[in-house]
Amino acid sequence: MMESTPAIGRRPGVTIYQVANRAGVSIATVSRVLRGTARVSPDTQQRVLDAISELRYTPSRLGRALAERRHAANGIVFPELFGPYYSEVVLGYENAASDLGRSVLILSTHGRAAVRDIVLDLASRVDGLVLFDGTVDDDLTRELVESGLPIVLLGRPGIAGVDAVSTENVQSARVLVDHLVGHGRRRFAFVGDPQVASDPAERWSAVSEALAGHRLAPPALVRCEFDEEAARVMARDLLTRDDRPDALVCANDQIALGVLLAAEELGVRVPAEVAVTGWDDVMAAKYVRPGLTTVRQPMIELGARAARALDERITGTRSIPIHDVLPTELVVRDSCGEH
């Protein structure tokens, strides 16, 4: 047989056949010493190992994957990758997955038209998939689940029989509201968009309920993109209104930071005139003045947990579905009131 054409840009790889040839054994034997899957005499073993190192042989992952019918890789689909929130999830996910010996494929659906296609493509190259909220609609999700591909839902409402990992919202909203009410705040507004994703929706309704628990008026809903600049523009308006709220509960830190910027520009004092809180505890929350009171989420742990849950599914270690809800923590700084 002639030497085959090398793949684009790569010299032809040395195959198991060449190793077998050189060592004077069959490919089966080479495979055995490679995998340690069966007894091989010390003598031949050494010959094979020699041949391997002399030829600088590395088994083709392609051939191996095809034979084993598995990728030893798993993927995660993000709505986007911008900002500290997702980046920490990436960090936690990569770390955990890598420790479990699986490669990590990432995909962001942000700004892409053919979400279905790219997700299916990704699905075809992994042994399991983590799906963030806001990436794949329920139909496609179900389709993927039914295809038998292990799936873990991240930060989104559970589907029966499917693993899900998310962070706690209801209780933390209550703690946050209690704290603000303790500061004497009465006229609340919720800044964000409950429609855009599951987390903001939960936060919105939880804040509303918590206020009801205090027999206070429901919060005004101020729709706003999850974007610092959009929040700044919105807040420039909101903060100059006659019926200005005295507490702005923002759906995430990005929004809260934009609000703080606007307040500074307008000379509106925080927290004296208005309290501002966020969600996430991004790095800037600690440095902004006044320091941003916010609900910290365990982002890294969230990613790690998803990776492990997925691995358990893939390996079959666990067959009953889980629905993990990670606890959050109120981080009190100065933007919520004098202490």
Partner DNA sequence: TTGTAGGCGTTATCAC
Partner DNA sequence: GTGATAACGCCTACAA
Nearer to a copy of itself, 223 or 289 (CB): 289
**Stretch touching DNA by CB under 7 A, among 67-75, 160-168, 232-240, 276-284:** 67-75
Is residue 31 close enough to count as binding DNA by CB under 7 A? yes
Q: Phi and psi for 180 in degrees, rounded to 5?
A: -65, -40
Nearer to a copy of itself, 109 or 208 (CB): 109
**Stretch touching DNA by CB under 7 A, among 37-45, 147-155, 159-167, 307-315:** 37-45
Q: How many CB atoms lie within 10 A of CB 126?
A: 23
Residue with token string 């703690």 = 175
Is residue 98 close enough to count as binding a copy of itself by CB under 8 A? yes
Residue with token string 């056949």 = 17
Nearer to DNA, 39 or 215 (CB): 39
Residues 6 or more apart in contact with residue 165 via CB below 8 angstroms: 152, 153, 154, 155, 302, 305, 306, 309, 322, 323, 324, 325, 326
Is residue 317 close enough to count as binding DNA by CB under 7 A? no
**Stretch touching DNA by CB under 7 A, among 18-26, 208-216, 234-242, 286-294:** 18-26
CA angle 279, 285, 286 (to 5 degrees): 135
Which partner, DNA, a copy of itself, none, binds residue 26 by CB below 5 to 8 Å per kind? DNA
Nearer to DNA, 111 or 148 (CB): 148
**Stretch touching DNA by CB under 7 A, among 66-74, 155-163, 164-172, 331-339:** 66-74
Nearest approach, Cβ of 213 to a copy of itself (angstroms)? 33
Is residue 44 close enough to count as binding DNA by CB under 7 A? yes
Positive or negative CA dihedral for 268, 274, 280, 285? positive
Residue 229 falls in which region: left (phi positive, over 0), alpha (psi -120 to 50) or beta: alpha
Name the residue type at position 90: V
The answer to whether 284 touches 257, Cβ cutoff 8 Å, is yes
Helix (H, G, I), strand (E, B) or coil at 324: strand
CA 48 – CA 36 distance, rounded (Å): 12
Q: Annotate each residue in 147-186 with x if it binds a copy of itself (CB under 8 A) or - if it does not, as one string.
A: xxxx------------------------------------
Is residue 106 close enough to count as binding a copy of itself by CB under 8 A? yes
Q: How many CB atoms lie within 10 A of CB 216?
A: 16
- Count CA atoms within 13 Å of residue 74 on its CB side: 33
Pick from 134, 302, 164, 277: nearest CA to 219: 277
Is residue 313 close enough to count as binding a copy of itself by CB under 8 A? yes
The length of the chain in residues reads: 339
Nearest approach, Cβ of 217 to a copy of itself (angstroms)? 31
Which partner, DNA, a copy of itself, none, binds residue 113 by CB below 5 to 8 Å per kind? none
Residues near DNA, by CB under 7 A: 1, 4, 12-13, 15-17, 24-29, 31-32, 34-35, 37-41, 43-45, 57-60, 62-64, 66-69
Residues near a copy of itself, by CB under 8 A: 6-11, 58-63, 65-66, 68-71, 73, 81-84, 86-87, 90-91, 94-95, 98, 103-108, 111-112, 118, 120-122, 124-125, 127-128, 147-150, 257, 260-261, 282-284, 286-289, 313-316
